[in-house]
Every structure is written in C-alpha cells, then in structure tokens.
Structure 1
Amino acid sequence: MPSIRSASADLRNSVYLVQQGVWEMPLESMPLAAGYLKAMATADDRVKRAMSIEIRNFRGGVNNAYMANAMFTQGAPDIIAFSVLGWNYDSFGALAETFKQINPDGWVIFGGNHVSNQAERVFRMYPAVDVVINGEGEVTFRELLRAYLDGVNKRDLAAVAGLSYRNAGAETVTTAVRPRIDDLDSIPSPFLNGALDLTDAAGRFRYDVALMETNRGCPYKCAFCYWGGATGQKVRAFSIERLRAELELFGKLGVHTIVACDANFGILPGDYDFVKTMIQTRERYGFPRALETSWAKNKSENFYRIVRLMKQAGMKSSFTLALQTLHDGALGAMRRRNMKVNEWEDLTAWLADEGLDCYAELIWGAPGETVESFMTGYDKLATRMSRIAVYPLLLLPNTDYMDKKDQFGITSVRGDDDDFEYILAHDTMTFTENQQMQHFIFWARVVAENAVLRHSWVALRRLAGLSQSQVLLSLGDWVNEVQDPAADFLRQAEAKLGTDGLGEAIKFMFTDPGAERVLNRWWEESLRPRLAESLVPLLREVFRYDLLTRPAYYGDDAADQEVLPVAVVEGDEYYVRRDVSLTHDIPGIVAALHAGQDPDLSPSRHVLDLYYRVGSESAVTSTNHEIVVHYMGRPLEGIVKEKAPERAD
C-alpha cells in the first residue's frame, strides 16, 4: 500500500513544526520556538517557494491519539519537526512512530533542550527519529530544509553542522558544533513577519501571554540547569529597535502580559530601555500592563533602576529571588556559592519598603542539603516573604548533577508521564526523608506559593509564633486524617506525585466550594487549638479575608456562585464585591505587621469594596502562581495607588 506523503493541499513539500505546552488551559501557550524556526526558514526565498511550513501547537493535557488525528487525518507531511521537552518527549516519540507508518520516507527531526546532545539515547528509544538538532536550531533547521530540497539523503548529513543523525550503517554521527548566533536580529521576528498567527477568528490575541526573548545566554553554570544550552555563555541581545516594533504590535493587539523568556532579565543595561519602551507603548495603546520574567540572579544597580522605573509607571511584575537554597554546603555543590543572589535580606527589605510583590524559589533535594537545613532556610526566608516556590530537584540532560550522579550518591527514577529523572535519595537525604518532604512540598506549593493564605502567614507568625512550615504541615497532616469529600480529593491529588495532581489541587483551592468548607474545618479543628483564645477573633478574620480575596473565577466548569458586577479602573475591568464587612481593619493590620510595626488589634468594624481583575480563568487553570496573584481581590485604593504612573526618568 503506497504511503500518503503529504498533508499539504498544494504541490510544495509539507513541513510540520510541532509544540505542546505542559498545562491544559483555556488559551494556547504561544509556540515561540516553532515561530523562530518558521520565521528563519521562510526568510530563505527558495525554502519559502518550495515548502509549506505549518505550526501545529497543542495544549497540555491532550493525548497522543488526539494529536495524531489532528495532524494525520489527511495524510502526513514530508518533514515533521518536534520541539522536545521533558513533559512531551515520550508523546513525541510515539507520534514519530505513527508518522513513519504513514510516510516511511519522511524525515523526523527532534530539537530542544531535552534532546540536544542526547542523540544516542533518542535513537535507541525511538528509531523513527532521523535527526537530533544540538544547540540553537534556527540556522541548522534551515540548512536541513535546504539539504532536503537538494536531494541529500537523510543518512548522509555530514555537511550540515549542529546535528546528529544515523548513517547507512545505523551508527550515530554527530557533525561539527555550530557556533551560537551572535547577531540575534538575523533571526526574523516571528511576530512581525507573520510566522506566528497572533489572533483568533474574532481578531483577539489568541494566547494566554505574549512570550518574547530580549536576549539569549547565561553567564552562570549552575549544576541543575541547562538553559537553552547557553549556560556559561556570553549574553547576546536583540536590538531595541526590533523589540520596540514587537512591543508596538502587542500593544495594538491589547496584550496584557509580556513574559520575557530570558535567563537573567536585568543583567544588561539595555533591559532598562526595554522596560522604558514597554511603558511608552502602554501610554500609547493602554497595553501591555505587566512584565513577568526570570530576573537576574545578581541584583545590580541596573536591576534597582528598572524596578524603580516600573513602580513609578505602575507596571506590574513578580520579582523573583532565585535563591534555590540557603545552605552553604548545597550552594557549593550547586556551583552558586559566590553568587551575590544569596545576599538576599537587604533586597527583600528594599522590595517590601517599595511595596513591590516578590517571591522566592527554593529547590528541595540538592546534594548537601538536609531536611533540617532546608526547613530552617524555608522558615527564615518566610519571615521576609511568604510566597516561596519550592521545586523538587529534577535531573536534566547535560547538567552537572546528571554527570555526577555517582559522586553525590544519587538514586533517581524516571517519571511515569514525563522523561525527567526524579531524585529519591543521595548522600545527605534518605528515601524516607525525601518522602516526608514531598508531603511538605505539595502543601507549600498549593497553599503558600499560590498565595491562598497570603495574609494569614504574617499574622500567625508575628502574633501566634507559628512558622509557615508549622502551619503548612498542620494543614497537610489534618487533611490526611479527616473524613471529608474535599479532603479525599486533595489526598488523591497529593498521591499523584506530579504536576497533574498539583495542578488539580491548586485549581480546586480557587474554584471549588468544597475548598472553602475544608479549609474552614481545618482552621477550627487543627489550627484554632494552637492559638491563644484572645487572638482567635482577629486571626479568624484574617483567614476569612484570605478566602474572600481569592480570584473571581467564572470558567465553564465554575460552580454556581454569586455573579459580581463589573467596574472599570484605570482601563482594566474588575469584578466588585460591595460592602464587605470586617470586624477589624484587616488590610491595615496586615500591612503594619509586614512593616514590623505593632498595630492596634482591637475590634473596629471596617467596610470596604473588593476588586478582582476580570479574566482569571487562564491563570487559575494553568496554575501560574506568577500571574494568578494579579487576580486576587484588593481594596480600590491599592489598585489606584499601584496603577498611578509617576514621571519616570
């Protein structure tokens, strides 16, 4: 039976670029990597004339059968290229096999961090893969397409640098290393040249956020990281002229949030110009209004200058302290001991004084870390900021930890639904200790990282002497023991030990009526007995305020709930809950406690309106803690103060 070679309706060679996000959410995640590849390829006149290049972008959560049917119902393309990460490695391997059943002569290309320099393993596991791209892919992919048009055999690609392939004898051949792209502007913008479809059928921006790169490269060599294959590399930047044109387009499209996909935003002087351009764009079009990114590890004067500029302009962001650990022994093994990022206390105090949102990142399971050292560091950090993202250490390809598993005594296991290696034990962490800590991490991520109890932490610590870890373990242990349908759901989510269960639990906390019921039961049955009776009325009201200020969620799966009216504040739509009556001035008390002051704790009836930004559904469903905090309910004066722009320098 002859194979169906092409799914294209025209006579050109057909090429698919395939991406899949990690989360299932209402809006697509922008396929930026595929956009760059298509933009570079179609800038070549011959490739553009001879090839039809389509981006096939899939949400997280869809299965292999869905993707296969979506791509292959009308046949298969001539070339299919997958952007591979740990969460889609196995799925894309399976789809490669399906592709070869339909088009045995077609080319299958894998690229991305997870497969770069891993060709031996990829070819062994998935013989249907023909080529693995090593390093940056734009130039190599274009050269591969040119080779295909020249009639080059896929078993004889020695002339194309930057890849691995199998020759006629089934031996793996790796070609010369391709130099990194010095002039990033030589990569056409996928936004400006139309490589990416930016709008849906109704003309609205189709993605949850706009992804941009302002630079590539990372000067550090952290043992756990392989950021774009550019660790230990000079940082290269796109020109401000190009970035200005891209921001202009996003402003016209009404894009609310820009995510700069840089390893260390703020490390270059030009990053200040980018933020200033972003603010100028908002002044013309009303958008964009928020910037999220991975901020520079070492906070230079340039960082402070950028933060002041953003504050003056009312431009939102979550400022990240990527500490990873506070333990000197673990820092040494991480190759981060000399990084100024760990001089964090003055920085957190400065951000708090400026009234700026900030969160920190910690990694559990690093060699050299113990349970005691980690929990001590966690609670020390929590005295300055309650929103701490705790991630279990994963072994990633091409990293120092992966290369030194034996040195650190690491025992690991591959994931069931992904291709990451999960650490089970090492020289300073036993199996049992790790299992106990997974319980803590689950609740730290669901409740603290996602700001479910963002106001209660400081009140419980300052007034009742309870550390953040004590409160989290109280909740987790109580849920494990109580008989309640909501607790049953949360126990089942925790038992999944992965992103699926974590995402289910986070969404449950923001959207299901059972969450409020079970949290109230925990507070009364487990937490209240630990409190002095004189403090109970106030602390109970702070807790109620936390529950009241969770995002207003009206997704298709939302339970019946009060439909709040909508008001416009400084150009943004907000749901408004009117005349909320509190027994104390909770916003004022919490603010004073954060500032280290001793507020008046006496009862005083306080009535206020709470405002919740419209559109939380995508942020809640994707469980994006960096964005979901922008949808929390707040009094009007806090929003107005934040949005009121001052003249920037």
Structure 2
Amino acid sequence: MPADRHTAPRRSVSRRPNRRTGHTGDLVDLKAIMDETGKDLHACLLELTGEQAYLPLAAGYLAAYAAKDEEIRRRVRISLVLEHAQSGIDRLLHQIVRAGVPDVLAISCQGWSVPVADEIARRVRTLNPDATIVYGGNHVSHQGRDFFASRPYADILVNGEGEETFRDILLRCLVDRRDPDLADVPGLSFRTKTGEMVTTPDRERLANLDEIPSPYLHGLLDEFLDSCETALLETNRGCPYHCSFCYWGQAVGQRLHSFSYDRLKAEMTLLAARGIDSWYICDANFGILRQDADIVDEIVRLRQEYGFPKTVHTNWAKNSNQRIVELCAKLNKGGVHSTYTLALQSTTESALQLANRANMKINKIGEIARLCRQHGVVPRGELIWGLPGETYQEFLRSYDDLAEYTDALSVYPLYILPNTEYHRSQEVLGIVTTKVEPDTDYAYCVEHAQMTADDFLAGLRFIISNNILKVGGILFRLYPRVAWSVAGVPYHRTIEGLADWVLNTDHPVAQRFKKYYRSPLTTHRQSLTEVWLTLKRDRAGLLDMVHQYLEATVHSALAEQGAQVEVLREALRFDAETYPVMDSRIREEQESVEERYVRTSTFAYDFLSVKHGESRQLTPGRFVYTIDHPAGLWRYPIENWYFGLLSYQAKVARIQENSTEPDRQAELIRAGDHTLRKVSL
C-alpha cells in the first residue's frame, strides 16, 4: 500500500539539465532571483487563492519568466507571497514587508481576492509612497478607466497574459523607479504623474509556452510544496468557445497553445515524488488535445510508482464524447479519484442562444451518462441559475432534464463577470446586479427580463436545498429517479420542498440550516460547508433529517393519493447504505482491507440496474449486493470535498437475485424500512 502523505516524509527531487526543452535543465540558476543580497530593486509578487492549501501558478510564472533576463536576475530580488485570500491582512502584510517594503508590488487578482488585494495595496502605498503597485488577472484586466477611478493607490494594470509585460515593467523600473517610462510597453494601462490614464496596444499571446520556465522545476515554489494540499497544473492556454458568462483571459475564442509533454511529465513527476495528494488541471477544456491522453497515462503510472496523486480534478472538454469519458475512467481505474461533469448550464433554448452555447442533444446526454456508468465514472451535472432568457419554471425544467442522467447536480448562481458578453449587454438584457459579499468582488445577476428579484431568491433557496441533498449530501442519486418513474414526482419537487420544511421543523439537524434559507443571498455559499461539518459530526442525524423530510412531504402526499410509497422508502435506503463513509485515520488502519470497507445488503428490488441506467423498470425480487466503500475520506482535501464525496460513494455489485412472492417482498421492505435511521457505517 502506498505511504500516506500525512505520515511519509516528502522526498527531494533531483533536477537534471535538459538543453532541448530549456526548463528543468537551464544552466542558469533562476532561483538566484530570490537572493536578497546586492540587489537594487525588491519586487513582491502576491497571489491569493480562493481555496485553502492550494498552490497557485501565476506568480510563479511571472517570477520565472522575469528571471530569464540577466539584468533582472542580477539587480532585482523577487519575493513570492502565496496565501489564501482569508489569511488575514496583518499576516499577509507581514510576509510582504518582512525583508523590507517592496519597491514594486505586483498582485495577481481573481474575483475572490480583489477586496483583500485592495486593502494590501492601500497599506503598502502608505508604507512606501514611491512604490509601484501593479495589478493583473482576469477579474481586473482591460478595465482601465473604471479600475483606476476607484483605486488612487494603483499605478499599472496588466491587460492579458502577464509574463512578458511584467518583465518589461521591471526593466523600466530599473531605469527610473519613481516614474518608469511605460508608453511603448504593450499590454498595459497606467496612470501618469499628471493623473492621465494611458492604455497601450494589446500584446500578442505567447505561442510557445515553454518560453516560460517552469517554477516547479526551477525550485521557485519549493518552500510552498510542504504545506500544499492541492497543486495546480496548466497544460495549455486558450478556449475555442465564446460563452457569454465566461472570461478565460485574453484567450476566449482563441487557438490553444500548449506546454510540451516533456515539461509536463517532469512537473508531474516532481509533484508525485513530493507526495502531493490532489492536483487540479486548470485548463478550460482538458481532454481536447491528443497529448491529454498521454498525460492521463502518466498520472496513472505515477500513482502506481509513488502513490500520488490520489485525486485529479479538471474542466473536461465541453464537447463530450466517449474518449473524454474513457480518460476519466482510466484515472478512476488507476486509483486516482476524478469526476466527470456534463456542464450544460441550461436546456432552455432561448437561454442557450443568449449564452452562445450549443449543447449536445438530450439523447447524446443519455448516451454519455450511460458510458459513464459502464466505465464506473460518476456522471455529474452543472447548471447556472439566473441565465438571461430563462424563467424560474424553465430553470426547474432544465434541472429535471439533467437530473435524469446524473448522480450529482451542482447549481451555481450567475455572476456577471467583467469582460464577458453579459457584462457588455446588461442594459439590453435588463440585467440588474448587486455585490453583497464583503470578501469577494463578484456581482450577482439578481434580475433580468425573465427573472424577478423574488424569483432570484427562490432560486437561491433551491440551490441551498440542492447543496444539502444532491451536492453536499449526494444522497439523492437513486431516490429521485425512482420517485419519478414509480410515482411521477418531478426531480425538482424532491429538492424544492426542503426549504419550507426546514424553516418549520424542530428536527435538531435542520436547525443548522435555517439561517441559510432566511438569508440566502449572503449565506448560500456557506451551506455546502455546513453539510460537510454535519456529515463529519452527525452522519446518522443528517440521514435521519432527509428521511423525516421525505416522510412529511413527498411520502405523505403520495399516501393521501393512494400511491404505494414502500418502494420509495426502499430506494432511499439504497442511497443511504451506499452513502460515503466518513472515517478516520484510526478506523482506516484498523478496519479497512486494501483501503476498502465491504459489506452485503439485501433489497426487494433490482435498484442496481436502474442506477446503472440499464433499465427504468424496477424488477421485484430478492437482490443481494456487495456494498464496497472506499476508505480515506477523512484525508480528502477539504476544498473539493463535495467532488470527493462522489468518488467515495460505494461501488455496488450483484451477488444473487431470486424472484419472491409479493408478501415476501413486503416483508423485505418492512425489514429494511428502519435501516436508514440505524445504519452506522
């Protein structure tokens, strides 16, 4: 069994010169850029993550590219501050100024980090009025006039890719630190000493990404790897699509540029040898290129050799096909947890047209979901609530369309991001936005021509219920399909009623969730974390809450109509018994066999065939299944735990099946009726 990264020492990795690719093996020591002695200029690169224990890449790229220049390497000291956005202003500022207040502060921004970045910039300006303060990143890029109007302390805004531009800024600061001449540097906006804002022409994207030395392979990120839970990998840049809600930097609708496979292989080997559990491949469409299959093969090989990574997440290519499913399946079969997402966002035609999306047809979705289940891959869905062109009722129909084929279904509210088509078309589409989160700069779409403010709040409450039952709870995998096929209960109906029930019940676990329904706009994001905490502290109570909710709502209503609800209860028991095991280090060591917990259970219907999509008809009988839970959920990176739950649900296999008489079926159902409340996995 591979050593656990929490107990095994991190290994050092040798770096061999490689003249052909020019990354690991440059004879130049790029790490000299971080030396403190004898330097004329101190530049600090600040990058704040939205997730705990993530290791970001942008600042490392900027430092590595700048360090290629001999004059910069000789005269400039670059320090890196890579922290979570909520680490605390004082802590961040201390790290920035620990070797002196920087002459240049360069901040890589996303929406989750802008408020903190602004406060840091204000304080650095106070400490060093002559400092040059530079911003970059997708959330602020190309926002020149509005950006500077609200930030008197900012000097330079980088537009687009930043590696070449940051190098040029440093070179100009070496000539004149207080008033660098930037007029002929492409790819930026800046404020002159007279207060005038100047924007230079855009810079061409880098076509050969290997011109950027690897910050991993050159050791620029070594000090951060020991505390890293999730490492980022970028295999290419660019996105061929033009979705109205998305801004993938300057590369939207552009040709993809790739890093070489040799370089990526060396980076992956280093991360595996250092024992990094979780990797996030931050491409827009991983799997779209031929070399991506080689990358997956190498990840599986490294898992076997080093025991890492144990988890890989990515944004799979939007144009889903059998090849993409097989890549995800190969990871899972190789012991690397991964999930596959059908990111449809909507099935409402008018909304898709405004979003510049062309989704696959429903029959193709069914085929992809069937392939997922055949290959042992968990099919996950994704929708956006609040898209222009879609009413609340149409959104619920979109939910029903996708829920038919997925085991987990995430719903996100629509942010109107800078530089997107929605941002440019707000007046035409009747979009009204609001910013309510003090820790982010995201603007929610709270109204548009087809959605009222009340509709928006109803959708947020639906998201919270979905977080509890379908995303965070991932309990509703089989039950909604059985409720629909047996009793005609729409998928969304099993979710939508939870809000009113929670607000009016005295169930002890439900008390945890009341505050989210009362103030959904400001708290809905935290509802996922609440599910995780409840699962860790009171798994049985969470399952019982779901049982009580369904008994009081769906089941009681069906009983009043004379419908039989026993099969629904049995389906819920199936979901409960295959629900992930929240274990501990001690339990894993003492009870698991080859990192698994295995038991058997008997059901009165062939739920496995329905779960696998082999049949929509429930066959009665006596069905004995092995229920095989993966061990180790306790060590899963908390930032992505709700993805992890999908991979940690039990694998179910049929041992035997025998038809039984109807009275025996009823006996089996009654015998299992209490199991939901008493299961103690």
Q: Shared topology, TM-score over 0.5?
A: yes
CA separation in 2, counterparts of 1:225 and 1:490? 31
State whether residues 606 and 620 of structure 2, in contact with CA within 8 Å, keep that contact through their aligned partners in structure 1.
no
Contact between 1:251 and 1:285, CA under 8 Å: does it hold in 2?
Answer: yes
Helix, strand or coil for the counterpart of 1:526? helix
> What is residue 645 of structure 1 aligned with on the other side?
none
The aligned runs of 1:444-483 (5 Å cut-off) are 444-450=466-472, 451-483=474-506
Match of 2:464 among 421, 442, 455: 442
Aligned counterpart, 1:76: 101
Verify the 8 A CA contact 2:45 2:107 in the aligned structure 1: yes
Report the equivalent of 1:3.
none
Point out the more displaced range, 118-127 or 593-602.
Answer: 593-602
Q: Secondary structure at the match of 1:15?
A: strand
- Aligned-partner Cα distance in 1 for 2:427–2:332: 47
CA drift of 1:131 comes to: 1.1
Residue 58 of structure 2: aligned partner? 33
1:449 Cα offset (Å)? 2.6
Q: What is the match of residue 132 of structure 2?
A: 107
Which string of whole-angstrom CA distances, capped at 9 and with x for unpartnered residues, describes residues 40-94 of structure 1?
1223333233233222122243333443344446652222211111111111101
| Residue 346 of structure 1, CA deviation | 2.7
* Matched position secondary structure for 1:355: coil
Give the C-alpha shift of residue 236 in structure 1.
0.8
Residue correspondence of structure 1 range 130-209 to structure 2 within 5 A = 130-154=155-179, 156-197=181-222, 205-209=226-230
Q: Does 1:270 align with 2:291?
A: yes
1:271-308 residue CA offsets vs partner (Å, 9 max, x unmatched)? 22222232333343343344321111113575366456
What secondary structure does 2:54 align onto?
coil
SS in 2 for 1:388: strand
State the Cα RMSD in Å: 3.2
Alignment partner, residue 43 of structure 2: 15
CA displacement at 1:345 relative to structure 2: 3.2
Deviation at 1:405, TM superposition (A): 0.5
Quick one: which of 338, 349, 354 aligns to 1:317?
338
CA gap 1:592/1:186 in 2 versus in 1, 3 angstroms: closer
Q: Which residue of 2 aligns with 1:627?
A: 644
Q: Which residue of structure 1 lines up, in the alignment, with residue 659 of structure 2?
A: none
What SS class does the counterpart of residue 622 from structure 1 fall into?
A: helix
- The correspondence for 1:614, drawn from 617, 632, 648, is 632
User: In structure 2, do the counterparts of structure 1 residues 491 and 463 end up closer, same or farther at CA, with 3 Å as the change threshold?
Assistant: same
- Does 1:216 pair with 2:237? yes
Q: Distance in 1 between matches of 2:354 and 2:634?
A: 40
Q: Does residue 280 of the first structure (1) align with residue 301 of the second (2)?
A: yes
Contact 1:493–1:504 (8 Å) recurs in 2? no
For 1:586 and 1:634, locate their aligned partners in 2 and report how far apart those are by CA, in whole Å.
17
Q: Say which of 504, 519, 539 aligns to 2:546.
A: 519
CA contact (8 A) 1:8 1:77 kept: no
1:387 aligns with 2:408: yes
Mapped to 1, the partners of 2:137 and 2:76 lie a distance apart of 22
Of residues 493, 511, 515 in structure 1, which corresponds to 2:516?
493
Q: Against the structure 1 CA distance between its residues 528 and 564, is the aligned structure 2 distance closer, same or farther, given a 3 Å change threshold?
A: farther
1:192 alignment partner, SS class: coil
Mapped contact 2:132–2:178 kept (Cα < 8 A):
no
Name the counterpart of 2:275.
254
In structure 2, relative to structure 1, the CA distance for the partners of 1:618 and 1:609 (3 Å cut) is closer
Question: Residues 637, 18 of structure 1: CA spacing in aligned structure 2 closer, same or farther, 3 A cutoff?
Answer: farther
AA aligned opposite 2:631: R
Equivalent position amino acid for 2:509 in 1: A
* Secondary structure of 2:146's aligned partner: helix
1:329 maps to 2:345: no
For 1:394, what is the secondary structure of its paired residue? coil
- In 1, Cα distance between the equivalents of 2:604 and 2:259? 48
1:414 and 1:592 mapped to 2: Cα distance? 41
Q: Are 1:67 and 2:92 an aligned pair? A: yes
Q: 1:586 to 1:150 in 2, by over 3 A?
A: farther
Instruction: Tell me which moved more, 289-298 or 148-157.
Output: 148-157
1:573-584 alignment runs, 5 A limit: 573-574=595-596, 576=597, 582=601, 584=603
Contact 2:325 2:371 in 1 (8 A): no
> Does the CA contact (< 8 Å) of 2:628 and 2:652 recur in 1?
yes
For residue 114 of structure 1, report the CA deviation from its aligned partner: 0.5
Q: Deviations over 1:1-58 (max 9, x none)?
A: xxxxxx99645333222222224x4xx1112111211221223333233233222122
Q: Measure the CA separation in 2 of the matches of 1:609 and 1:221.
A: 43
Instruction: Give 1:375's aligned residue.
Output: 396
Shift of 1:381: 1.4
What residue in structure 2 maps to residue 226 of structure 1?
247
How many residue pairs get aligned? The number is 613
Structure 2 CA distance for aligned equivalents of residues 590 and 415 of structure 1: 46
Q: 1:78 to 1:161 in 2, by over 3 A?
A: same
Cα distance in 2 for partners of 1:429, 1:156 equals 49
Structure 1 counterpart of 2:644, which letter? I
State the match for 1:346 in structure 2.
367
With normalisation by structure 2, the TM-score equals 0.82
Indicate the SS of the match to 1:260: strand
SS of the residue corresponding to residue 288 of structure 1 reads coil
- Aligned-residue offset at 1:347: 2.2
Contact 1:408 1:426 (8 Å CA) reproduced: yes
Change (3 A) 1:346 1:154: farther
* Contact kept? 1:226, 1:399, Cα under 8 Å: yes
* CA positional deviation for 1:180: 0.3
Deviation at 1:113, TM superposition (A): 0.3
Contact 1:297 1:341 in 2 (8 A): no
Q: How does 1:121-132 map to 2 (within 5 A)?
A: 121-132=146-157
Match of 2:142 among 109, 113, 117: 117
**Residue of structure 2 equivalent to 1:559:** none
- Matching residue's letter, 2:555: R
Letter of the structure 2 residue corresponding to residue 491 of structure 1: K
Matched position secondary structure for 1:395? coil
CA 1:49/1:543 → structure 2, altered by over 3 Å: closer, same or farther?
Answer: farther
**Separation of aligned partners in 1, 2:606 and 2:93:** 52
Give the conservation status (yes or no) of the 8 Å contact 1:130–1:166.
yes
Counterpart residue number, 1:420: 442
Indicate conservation of the 8 Å contact 1:16/1:81, yes or no.
yes
Unaligned stretches of 5+ in structure 2? 1-33, 656-681
TM-score (norm 1): 0.86
Q: Tell me, yes or no, if the aligned pair for 1:459 and 1:593 is still in contact at 8 Å.
A: no
Matches of 1:452 and 1:256, distance apart in 2: 26
Supply the distance in 1 between the matched residues of 2:220 and 2:206 (Cα, whole angstroms): 20
Deviates more, 1:313-322 or 1:32-41: 313-322
Q: What whole-Å deviation, never above 9, does each CA across 1:376-420 have from its counterpart, x for those lacking one? A: 121021111131221111100001100011111111112332211
Q: Which moved more, 1:182-191 or 1:308-317?
A: 308-317
**What's 2:454 paired with?**
432
| Whole-Å separation in 2 of the counterparts to 1:30 and 1:441 | 29
Equivalents in 2 of 1:125, 1:441: separation in Å? 33
Give, in whole Å, the separation in 1 of the partners of 2:647 and 2:74.
45
Task: Identify if the C-alpha distance between structure 1 residues 63 and 17 changes in structure 2 by more than 3 Å, giving closer, same or farther.
Answer: same
Post-superposition offset of 1:563:
4.5
Q: Is the 8 A contact 2:283 2:315 kept in 1?
A: yes
Give distance in 1, aligned partners of 2:615 and 2:588. 35
2: CA distance between counterparts of 1:171 and 1:340?
52
Residues 1:609 and 1:265: Cα distance change in structure 2 (over 3 Å): closer
**Amino acid aligned to 2:548:** R
